[in-house]
Amino acid sequence: MLKVILEQDKCVASGQCVTAAETVFDQRDEDGIAVLLEEHPSPEVEAEVRQAAAVCPVLAIHVTTDN
Amino acid sequence: MMNIDRDVLIVGASAAGLSVAEALRRGGHRGRLTLIDAETHFPYDRPPLSKQLLSGAWDASKVALRSHDALSALESELLLGDRAEHLETAALSVRTASGRILTADAIVVATGVTPRCLPGSDDISGVHVLRSLDHAAQLHQRLRPGRRLVVVGNGVMGSEVAATASAMGVNVSLTGKASTPMAPQLGSFASSLLAAEHKAAGIGLYGDVGVENLVVRGGSVEGVALSSGEVLPADDVVVAIGSKPATNWLSNSGLSLDDGIVCDSFCRAAPNIWAVGDVARWNHPDLGSLRLENRTNAAEQALAVAADILGNGEPYAPIPYFWTDQHGLRIQVHGTIPADARLQVTDGDVTSGRFVAIATTPEEDRPVAVLGWGMPKQTRARRAELQTANSVAL
Amino acid sequence: MIGTFILTRNNTGRSGTENTIKPPAAFPMAREPRCPFDPPPMASAAQEAGPLTRVELSDGSTPWFVTRYAEQRALLSDPRISADVTRPGYPIPANSGSTASPFSFILMDDPEHARLRRMVTAPFMVKRVQAMRPGVQKIVDDLIDDMLAAGGPVDLVEAFALPMPSLVICELLGVPYSDHSFFQRNSNALINRQANPQERRAAVEALVGYLHGLLEMKKNHPADDVFSDLARRVRDNQLTNDDAAMMGVLLLVAGHETTANMIALGTLALLQHPDQLKLLKESDDPALVTSAVEELLRYLTITHDGRKRLAVEDIEISGSTIRAGEGVIMATDLANRDPEAFSDPDRLDLGRDARHHMAFGFGVHQCLGQPLARMELEVAYSTLFRRIPDLRLATTLAKVPFKNDGSVYGVYELPVTW
């Protein structure tokens, strides 16, 4: 089971995670800071989620296949 | 003995079996954990076999289900390359091909499915099934621009292989019993949209047909003779006519078998024996006797089985879900689309080629499925509506 | 004064040179005129030799020069690395004209940087930028209509590359379009490598003065734009007038020149790589336009002056020790041509996956306007070549004037015809 952790207070609102995995990440309206839509995304977005973790400029996204 | 200390044996170490192991450990399980699999490869993910691995976009290392570190962290014994051959239900013991006898306090059967073959087609060069990494690697080697591929079977697998191969420049014909590709899974309207996508990609479509025989010369396939009388020339044939649950080894085990291992709503097949994934036919509280062959169910059902082993089980009542990627479109279905479903577009539009639709049954007008067509974000949002509707209806 | 002879250590240098003693190269370095899209040969050679070396700035200081992708990525996200320009030792070339006061939050560290940055991130979020797309498409189409009506040859910079992003940013920020040439002039002065400190100061003052006035106007007549939002924050005491004006200058400058330069330089690069341009023209797959934009960002990396930082503690990296108080320059243009990060990196390949490039930087200061920049470039390149498919250079490459002296690379003019 995929698990995604987002460290929101590190976020700088670059939006890269949304571009990489739009069904898993969104940005909140007041300041564009990232929000996690799916803590356990289903397997077909695993590659996208890992891409999001790779491009996050502040390394705020962590993906594991274990809780 | 406490549940968390029981010895657990998991037969089958692919998506479902591995997920059970991980869920057990996460749930505090401390007992011995043994996984056994007939495959010699470390566990790998199957959905990419008909997509990225077949096209060559990924190499084999990218389909590994878990890193070696993650596998070690399970603190389990992983026995690869040894096929289970016999199960004693009462004694809770399994005998393998190498002669090992494994006993446990709890057994999980996760042996999956094996692909159906065309009768008499073994040992014909150029005829492929697609279930394993080795199958996919072999098929990838054969597919080159201009070569002719005939896909027998127009369900999900056949349709995906056709799409992937056509993007590789292969000359593809997609044949099968359904009138249009994936009609049973998509309903007639969406299935006709898929047919249009295939045609636009240059794939020849032949619906409502079966295979009379293969044309073979010198041990190699040269063509496929359809029941319509047409003969399609072929350098390669992929047989994608469905799978049967891998239960032959259980025929005298004492377990009830009926297109899968028959289980109750907790996925229990017998005292201290569970089944999970493609092989499991369980009693879905709302949908009745059901066997789902898809990737999402492997992971979700595994959680249910692990919980039950640990004593926290609940009836397993998922909303079935599958996806397929074809021609650059992510097609998703939450729920089941009945043949006579009415589709109401809620996002996007059909003419632009990207939309989300809710399927309702004509009689009750209740949403029974969400169909996503190239709009994964909105599809995800509509799934929530389906859950609300269903919980209200129930 | 520290000697100009510094032992450069070989850190898994690919060329295998061991312990060469040579003076640090002057920075910035000169490009090879016949390869205007590639980093300076001396810079590439430095990358080949090792991940860290030193360079000499015009003030005689010798900051570290980080040449490779992995090391830059590590350092730009290291908390021991500061962007605070007021700290002694921060690497600034003498003619950059900075004063002791911070230009804006880009030259600050967290937490103050984060607080200020979050005040202006909302308009640039992905879904808002996507919603702006039809408006941007119209701006582009109108400019191309004018170009087509006038007939070629035209200077693409003046007719298209400069006005397009300025129209977009003015609309987003709430600056009346009639004032945009005023901003053009002053933002050019701010980033021209050859402008003297007095000229820079005058430009900043002019912009800040104007923005004070605009913010006052927005306080009384708010609209749905960034300056109205900033004016409200000033009124609510979240921000001083000066801070708001400075932030305004930053957004204007950042949004104009960079995008304008990418449009012109990217068009030139496409014209110089006809096989790649053909792929772009013949495909109707929007994903190719998206990946083409990423690849052009990578290939061109117009912010060729490097990302400048200061170490606030000692940092051990790849066999070197950066001491506290030493300046560090991250050559992101070199990172984007690092063969460890991008295979065959000097090749323009519009279909490759270049999404991990560092053209927008990395770390907490990574460009906050990037979703807007990407969208503008997608619309600009795709519309230009769709509507003027036989666009071609109306001069030779050798005659195109490149902005070698700008802190943002580009071309001063680009004569084209069709």
Across the interface, of A1, A22, A45, the residue whose CB is closest to B19 is: A1
Which of these, C329, C403, C323, lies nearest to C93 by C-alpha position? C329
Strand partners for C74: none
Average pLDDT, chain B: 94
Strand partners for B93: B88, B103
Chain A neighbors of B299, CB-CB under 8 A: 1, 42-43
CB contact A18 to C (< 8 Å): yes
CB B162 within 8 A of CB B151: yes
State the DSSP code for C157: I
pLDDT at B235 over 50: yes
Tens-place pLDDT, residues B260-300: 999 999 999 999 999 999 999 999 999 999 999 999 999 99
Position B389 confidence tier, pLDDT thresholds 50, 70, 90? low
Sign of CA dihedral C25, C29, C33, C37: positive
User: Kindly report the CA angle at C328 between C322 and C332, in degrees rounded to 5?
Assistant: 125
Q: Which residue has the tokens 């059970």?
A: B20
Q: Which helix (H) or strand (E) holds B324?
A: strand B321-326
Tens-place pLDDT, residues B198-218: 999 999 999 999 999 999 999
Q: What 3 state SS string does A6-22 have?
A: ECHHHCCCCCHHHHHCC
Nearest residue in chain A measured CA to CA from C129: A15
CB contact burial C173-192 (16+ within 10 A = b; e otherwise): bbbeeeebeebbebbbbbbb
Tens-place pLDDT, residues B127-170: 999 999 999 999 999 999 999 999 999 999 999 999 999 999 99
Average pLDDT over residues C11-18: 42
Chains that touch C (3 or more CB pairs under 8 A): A
Mean pLDDT is highest, among B362-376, C31-45, C205-219, for C31-45
Tens-place pLDDT, residues B20-66: 999 999 999 999 999 999 999 999 999 999 999 999 988 888 899 98
CB C132 within 8 A of CB C167: no
pLDDT reported for residue B230: 96
Tokens of C354: 């270049």
Residue C346 C-alpha, separation from nearest chain A C-alpha, in angstroms: 21
**CB spacing of A44 vs B73 below 8 angstroms:** no
pLDDT reported for residue C148: 97
Count Cβ–Cβ pairs < 8 Å, chain A vs chain B: 38
State the amino acid at position C154 in one-letter form. V
Average pLDDT over residues B101-117: 97
Roughly how many angstroms between the first and final C-alpha of chain B, as a whole number?
A: 38
Q: What is the DSSP string of C240-274?
A: -HHHHHHHHHHHHHHHHHHHHHHHHHHHHHHHH-H
Q: Is the pTM of this model over 0.95?
A: no
**CB spacing of C368 vs A12 below 8 angstroms:** yes
Mutate to test the interface with C, among A14, A18, A26, A29 (most CBs of C within 10 A): A14
Q: Which helix (H) or strand (E) holds B280?
A: strand B280-284
**CB spacing of A42 vs B321 below 8 angstroms:** yes
pLDDT reported for residue B10: 98
Q: Which residues of C touch A (CB under 8 A)?
A: 77, 114, 117-119, 121-122, 124-127, 129, 355-356, 360-368, 370-371
What percent of chain B has pLDDT above 70?
98
pLDDT reported for residue C193: 57
Distance, CA of C410 to CA of C33 (rounded, Å): 13
C-alpha separations of C359 from B161, C106, C114, C129 in Å? 38, 16, 21, 19
- Residues contacting C246, CB < 8 A, separation 6+: C102, C103, C104, C208
Distance, CA of C335 to CA of C347 (rounded, Å): 14
pLDDT reported for residue B57: 86
ipTM of this complex: 0.92
For chain C, give percent helix, strand, coil, nearest 5.
50, 10, 40
Average pLDDT over residues C390-418: 93
pLDDT at C7 over 50: no
Residue B123 C-alpha, separation from nearest chain A C-alpha, in angstroms: 34
Q: Name the more confident of B113 and C86.
A: B113
Mutate to test the interface with A, among C109, C117, C125 (most CBs of A within 10 A): C125
pLDDT reported for residue B388: 66
pLDDT at B11 over 60: yes
Q: Which of B6-20, B316-330, B372-386 has the lowest mean pLDDT?
A: B372-386
Tens-place pLDDT, residues C328-348: 999 999 999 999 999 999 999
Distance, CA of C188 to CA of B362 (rounded, Å): 65
pLDDT reported for residue C191: 58
pLDDT reported for residue C95: 39
Would you give the distance in Å from CA C350 to the centre of its chain?
20
Average pLDDT over residues C233-241: 89
pLDDT reported for residue C93: 55
Q: How many residues does chain C have?
A: 418
CB contact A22 to B (< 8 Å): yes
Across the interface, of A22, A43, A65, the residue whose CB is closest to B377 is: A22
Residue A10 C-alpha, separation from nearest chain B C-alpha, in angstroms: 25
* Other C-beta atoms lying within 10 Å of the C-beta of residue C155: 17
Which of these, C55, C45, C54, lies nearest to C14 by C-alpha position? C45
Distance, CA of C87 to CA of B332 (rounded, Å): 54
Q: Name the more confident of C54 and C285.
A: C54
Tokens of B101: 């006898």
CB C406 within 8 A of CB C192: yes
Number of H helices, E strands in chain C: 14, 13
Tens-place pLDDT, residues B307-342: 999 999 999 999 999 999 999 999 999 999 988 888
Residue A66 C-alpha, separation from nearest chain B C-alpha, in angstroms: 7
Answer whether the bond into residue C111 is a cis peptide, omega within 30°: yes
Answer whether the bond into residue C28 is a cis peptide, omega within 30°: yes
Alpha helices in C14-125 (DSSP H): 41-49, 69-76, 112-117
Distance, CA of B212 to CA of B225 (rounded, Å): 5
Nearest residue in chain B measured CA to CA from A66: B22
Tokens of B20: 């059970």
Tokens of C41: 């040969």
pLDDT reported for residue C194: 62
pLDDT reported for residue A58: 95
**CB spacing of A15 vs C117 below 8 angstroms:** no
pLDDT reported for residue C21: 57
Answer whether the bond into residue C153 is a cis peptide, omega within 30°: yes
CB C239 within 8 A of CB C226: no
What percent of chain B has pLDDT above 90?
86
pLDDT reported for residue A66: 58
Tokens of B83: 């096929």
Count Cβ–Cβ pairs < 8 Å, chain A vs chain C: 66
pLDDT at B8 over 50: yes
- Residues contacting C52, CB < 8 A, separation 6+: C9, C11, C64, C65, C66, C67, C71, C317, C318, C320, C322
CB C215 within 8 A of CB C241: yes
Mutate to test the interface with C, among A7, A8, A11, A12 (most CBs of C within 10 A): A12
pLDDT at C317 over 90: yes
Tens-place pLDDT, residues C159-181: 999 889 988 987 888 888 788 77
Distance, CA of B195 to CA of B189 (rounded, Å): 10
pLDDT at B185 over 60: yes
Average pLDDT over residues C91-101: 48
Please identify every stretch of chain A with a pLDDT value under 50, giving residue numbers as ranges: 67
Across the interface, of A15, A57, A58, the residue whose CB is closest to C125 is: A15
CB C46 within 8 A of CB C338: no
C-alpha separations of A9 from A41, B45, C31 in Å? 22, 34, 41
Sign of CA dihedral C75, C76, C80, C83: positive
